[in-house]
Each structure stands twice: as C-alpha cells, then as structure tokens.
Chain A
C-alpha cells in the first residue's frame, strides 16, 4: 500500500487555490497537450512505460515511447503518474436527478408505462452539481437512463463536459425496457406470491400485446412508405423491432433472465441486458446467447437471504468467467464517482484487474458501438483521459489531470471547494462560543 504525504497533498491544493484566486472561476481549456514521462494504460494495447500522449483537436494524436512533442503543445509532466482512458458508467441517473428526495429535481420517470419516445438527452442538466463531483474521479462518460414502467424512454451516452446536452452527447442511444419481473421489488414489497405472479403475468401479456402492435405498426409503416398514423410510442419501438436500434433490457431474477433471453431470441432483438443481479445463476445461458450485460452496483447485497454474503460482489466475475461480455455500472446518480471502486470489488472477488478495468472502459465502448471513439488510449480516439497517481480502483489514488473530448477539465467540484474553504476555517471559534462564556 502506497502512502501519500499529507503535506505534499496540502501543497498541491494550496497551489490550486492560487490558480483559483487568479482566475476566479476555473474553466476547461482546449488546445494541444503533451502528457510526458507517463505510464500509459492503453487498455487495448498494453501498458507503456515512460511514454507520451499528445492531445490535439479533442483527439489523441499520438501515443508512444518515441513521440515528438509538438512545439505548440502545453507539456504536462506525468512522471510517476499513469494515464488511463476515461471510465464509462453504463447505467446512471446522472444529469437527470439533482436531489433524490425532491421529485421536482427528478427527470427520469415520466408518467405512463409505455413511453419509449421520452428522450433522456432532453432532460440532461449540463450544470448539475453532481457532474463535476463525478468526473473528478476519472469517470468521463455515462449512460443517462430513464426508468420506471415497461418502456420508460430512451437512454443516452453522454460525456461529462459541455454546456448543452448536444455538446455532451457521445453517440449512442438505446430504448430502455424493464422486463416483467416475477420477483419482489424489495424487502418491503408485501404482495403475496400469487399477486406477484399475477402482476408479472399481466406485465408479460402487456409486453407481448405491445410487441404485436409494434409489428403491425411496422408492417403498415413499410407498406405505406412511412405514412402510418401518428403514434410516437409505437414509432419509437419500430427501430428496435427492425433490429436497427438497441434495447437495454433491465432484468434481474434468474427465471426472468431466462424468459427475457427467450423473448429476445424469438423477436430477434438487438439487446443489452442490464442489472442481471442473478446472472451468475444462469451465466452459461447468457454466454450462449451472446448478449452483452451491464451489471451493478457490484457493491451490493445478494438478492436472496440464502445466498452467500459475497454473491453480489462475485456476480460480474462469474458471468465474465462463463464468457459473458460484462460492463459495470453504479446505477447511481450522486455517487457515480464510486464506479472505479465497484470495478475494484469485482476484481477483489474473482475478476482480474485487467478485465475489471475493461468493464469500465473498452467493454462498454464496444457494447455501445463507440469503441472507435472512447474506451482506450489509441490514436484517433476522443481524448477522454485521466492521469492518476496509480491504480484508480484504489481509494488512496489521486486523480491529477482530466481531459474530456480534449478539454482540459479543472479537478474542481463543489465538494473540493468546500474542502478548501473549510479545512482551516477563518474565523475559527469566536469567543462567545467558548464554554463558560455563554
């Protein structure tokens, strides 16, 4: 375990305070950057020592041990530090939720069971206080996903930098679907077994009826050259029906997963399974289907009282071992920053560290079809990069530099600002508050 001198860390912060005072508000900057003397964790092409990464026009221009530093580059010496591709959280409410208990700050659950046409991207708040808190941990992209109901809406992949949702959009959308569940929602779900079954039968029936309508609608749409009656719900599902759009299907219970796999196969849907809490029970079937999985939070309780205590931690690793393509998510909003630690727990309980890193970088990029843009340090990719003092899964590691889409993002959030203000509060205790003086 590496230790860090707190004084050194203090010094670093003191420096950043100076910077702050100089420019008042820290803004991201764009330009040409050379990260030199670095260890580079490319993810896809191994680990490079003493290497250089050049960032230009928002892209990675060069990576290697033998790179000429352009004259116009701002050089950042990364000696002793490691360069990583930005991490991707494959399922969050980030940008769609500000304060969990205040419903007017929640924009992920629209009225109705069947609202696939709802666009998460529309409701992303680029100025959410939660976003800087998240990205300073090295998480640079997330899936912002609607939830609730059978088809809650369309999720979007966003980068955690930008002044408008369009600037943040990272090139992937998917229709979200909650596969009908035969399980209980939680320990406080007091429905009887019969009611649970009844509700899920109803939901399956509704799903199949909906799909029949989508089929018919798609047929009419084809035969009328796109002149079918206006119906935004069905229209939103047609691309999924035709295999042109992806469905992110939330399913968790063992038997539900099998049912979902069957349903996906029968309807020939391009799907990603999400949640998949009990995936370890049917890992072989999932592997056989070839359908990728987004699972998490890894740091979670088992789904059944009879399960071994660490089954939640092990789930991702067991699925991976069976041959499932696994990405990791937090399913969080304010604490998406714990994504690396979730990957770390997966690594502590059976996944290799390398695979755990892939599960938050290149694997989600591949699943979302954006592996040409993000997920690794390779020439030509978007410059989503962070530089750290070491393994980002280790809590003690510090993040030192952050680039999103080539923007050099200040490592600042409301939480760091409060730290700087209050570590040594001035004034401290006033006389009136000393005991005996009141």
Chain B
C-alpha cells in the first residue's frame, strides 16, 4: 500500500504551473559530510521548498515537517556526474565534424530507467553529453534526476550554464576521416577543424555586430543569414558556453590549450583526459579542469599509457578534478569509483568525495546551487548506510529538491514508467558492452568511449 501511495506521488504526469515539484523535510542526526565545511556528527538538516535552510544540532522544524531519521547513517550532497549520456534519446549527430548547433536537451528521455538507477546510486545531477563522434559536437544538458515526471523540460537543471562537447583523437578521426572520408583524419586535422570553426565564429560575430550597429541607423538593414552553428561558436568565444572536451592524449590536450589561448577562450573542462596527468602543470596554469575515469584504460590505443593515479596527480597539481561515469552502469556507483583514489594515491576523504560533488559542480558551473551541504543550496542529498567511501556502504535514500526520488526500503522492484503495450515480458538482455559516447555511430564502429 505504501508503495502505491509513493508511486502516485512520484509519477505525476505534468508540472503544476510549470514549476518543478519541491519538498520539505528534516533529516535527523546523520553524520553529515558537507564536503566544503567538514564532517558534522549527529547533525540535522532542514529542507524547505527544496532548499537547505538550516544545518545544526537538534534543529526545530515547523510542525508536520516530514522527519527522516538518519541516526547512524551518512548524509552527503547528491552526487554529480560530469559526463554521462543517460536520459537522452540522441547522442551523436555524426554527420558533420562540426555540429555546435544541436542540443541534446532537445531529446530528453524522461522514461530512461538509467535515471532511476543513477538515483539508486545517490546521483542527483548528471551532465547529459553529446557523443564524441564530431570534433565539435552538440551542446550538452545538465539534468536533475527527477525521475517520475513526464515532461522532458522538468529534467533541465535550471540556470545551469550552457556547455558544449568537443572531441579530439581517435573517435572523430574514425568517424569522419576513416568513416566519411572528410577531414580530420589526423590530430593535425582535428586542430584545423577547431581553428576553422572558431574563425568562422569570429567572422559571424563581427557580421552580427556590424548589423546591430547598422540597424540603429537604418531600419532596412539586412541581417546576415542566421546560422546557429556559427552563433554557438561566437557564444563560446564570448565565454557564454563552457567547453567539455573529450580527450585522451597529452599532446592533444596541449594543442587545444594553445588554440583556446589564441582565441581568448578560458572555460574548459577536459573529459576523460587519461593523459591529463602528464600535462597537469599546464592544465593548472591555464585554469582548465579535468573530469576523468577512476581506472578505465587499455580499451583503445590512446588510453594504453594511462594510470589510475591520474585523479591524484591532477588534484595534487591543483587541477579541479572530477570522476565521471560515461556509462549507465558506472553512474550507479560513483561513490566507489572516487574511493579508488584512496588506493591510487591516497586522497583524503574530503578530497575523494569532492571528485563526485563540488568539483563536478564547479566544472558545470553549478557550484553555487549544488555539490555540498550548505545553507541556501538545493536539497539534493544522498543518504548512505555507512561512509560512502567504503565498499560496504549502501545508498539508502536519494533526495532531489527535497523530494525522495529513491528509497531502498519502499521502492517497488519494477520502476519502469513507460510500458510498451506490445511487449509482454521485459526482455532479457545480455551484457554486451556499448560505447555510450559513440552511440548513434554503432553500425560503423564498435569500441568504447
């Protein structure tokens, strides 16, 4: 019975007045891992209208506020995945080396069960990215895991900065140079494609500026042909969009830093960056950030010279670093992925947990809203049975905007929202691996990331 009530609350089909639902609650007596302000024992967190309004011992809450007893449990900010492809139906518009105008936010899939499974791993926010088929791929979408809502727009992380996918190395070379017979077919070509795109963006920006000036004097002024591809490049040049660049090798990372320096672009996070550790001082000096795997390597040649100590070396060199999943499987246990930095380099608890909370929030430009437990921030919270860095810790409850979206005790086992009327029994699927980053190009190519 409880389940049914819970479900009916969870699965509301439209937004009331266009507002995403928020909730009130008080989480009592947990060990609170604030990430930015230390660890607080036996501490309460008060949540009102989806925001954290008070943190402290024995807080008073308005009568009727939902109480959650976290005695003996660990309470941490909702985990943030800076690189994933869940919750969207289209990943790659792999028909052009430059597709800066496409937006994966146009293809949000509210029914993707991966969103729920991510919640079951304490993940409340993810960065749904365009794939790595194109040198300049589409714009990405930061989403909140409000699983149960039907309206795709309800998943959009409000006021998150725009981000765009770039991709260097093997993937764009394979898709375009080898697959489609156009540049780039080498890392030299990759640089050229990026420089060309920025140059076109500059030209377009100049034309638009000239038009805006002309328009004041002349009402019949003719605007340039509207081009969202160039406009997006211009927006990157103007610092309105954060670049999120799929990259592996040290040389290609340096290449992009040089290009960005030439064009005056500052905001960049390198995604994967398996060889980021080799150029950590350069990244730190530039102010570039890095979002890496905990230990993936050797799945293709450009990640053969990797090390699981990557995150540690980057962190020790002052690079803001996060650990991401790029996978509907791995997103379910990012807490364990970041814990591996304690084996590979001995990061402290706060350092390790920062890799999946405040650091990805910084990389996505949402650190003023999420990523730590602080007054005024969104009530995106994950509750664990023990220290989340222990392999034995189990996520028990995940809260988004003050609403419980995952509850281990009370969730029914079948959490599908959309049921195919022609499919009698849910199909069995084997474990053949899929390259999320290359989704949409899978007829041509078959390897991961």
B391 touches A335 (CB 8 A): no
B432 touches A425 (CB 8 A): no
A341 contacts across to B, CB distance below 8 A? 336, 340, 391
Which of B113, B304, B448 is within 8 Å of A305, CB to CB? B113
Cα–Cα, bound, A425→B446 (Å): 36
Cα–Cα, bound, A304→B433 (Å): 15
Number of contact residues on A: which range applies? 35 or more
A253-B339 contact in complex given A188-B434, A309-B116, A395-B389, C-beta closer than 8 Å: no
* Interface of B toward A, CB cutoff 8 Å: 113, 116-117, 120, 257-258, 261-262, 277-278, 280-282, 284-286, 295-301, 304-309, 312-313, 316, 328-329, 332-333, 336, 339-340, 342-349, 386-387, 389-394, 411, 413-416, 426-434, 442, 446-448
Chain A at the B interface: SS class: loop
A186 touches B258 (CB 8 A): no
User: Closest approach, in angstroms, between the C-beta of B287 and any C-beta of chain A?
Assistant: 8
User: Closest approach, in angstroms, between the C-beta of A56 and any C-beta of chain B?
Assistant: 31
Cα–Cα, bound, A393→B339 (Å): 11
Which of B117, B306, B447 is within 8 Å of A100, CB to CB? B447
Given A300-B431, A344-B392, 5 other A-B residues pairs in contact with their CB atoms under 8 A: A4-B346, A129-B304, A307-B413, A308-B411, A438-B258
Chain A positions 244-286 with a Cβ under 8 Å from a chain B Cβ = 252-254, 277-278
* Interface of A toward B, CB cutoff 8 Å: 1, 3-4, 6, 9, 98-102, 129-130, 181-189, 252-254, 277-278, 299-301, 303-310, 333-335, 337-338, 341, 344-345, 347-349, 353, 393-398, 414-416, 418-419, 422-425, 428-429, 433-435, 438
A301 contacts across to B, CB distance below 8 A? 117, 328-329, 332, 431
B394 touches A348 (CB 8 A): yes
Which residue in chain B gives the minimum CB-CB distance to A186? B432
User: Closest approach, in angstroms, between the C-beta of A176 and any C-beta of chain B?
Assistant: 16
Cα–Cα, bound, A225→B63 (Å): 89
B278 contacts across to A, CB distance below 8 A? 422, 425
A429 touches B282 (CB 8 A): yes
Cα–Cα, bound, A4→B387 (Å): 15
A308 contacts across to B, CB distance below 8 A? 411, 413-414
A1 touches B390 (CB 8 A): yes
B343 touches A395 (CB 8 A): yes
B430 touches A423 (CB 8 A): no
A429 contacts across to B, CB distance below 8 A? 281-282, 284-285
B298 touches A99 (CB 8 A): yes
Which of B277, B284, B391, B433 is within 8 Å of A348, CB to CB? B391
A sample of 22 inter-chain contacts (CB < 8 A) reads A6-B345, A99-B300, A100-B298, A101-B300, A187-B434, A252-B430, A303-B429, A309-B415, A345-B336, A394-B391, A395-B340, A396-B339, A418-B309, A419-B309, A419-B345, A422-B313, A423-B309, A423-B313, A425-B278, A429-B282, A434-B285, A435-B286
A-B contacts, CB under 8 A, total: 206
Cα–Cα, bound, A181→B116 (Å): 28
A416 contacts across to B, CB distance below 8 A? 307, 309
User: Closest approach, in angstroms, between the C-beta of A314 and any C-beta of chain B?
Assistant: 11
B298 touches A306 (CB 8 A): no
Cα–Cα, bound, A245→B347 (Å): 48
| B295, B298, B342, B447 pick with most chain A CB within 10 angstroms | B298
A300 contacts across to B, CB distance below 8 A? 329, 431
User: Closest approach, in angstroms, between the C-beta of A10 and any C-beta of chain B?
Assistant: 8
B392 contacts across to A, CB distance below 8 A? 344, 347-348, 353, 393-394
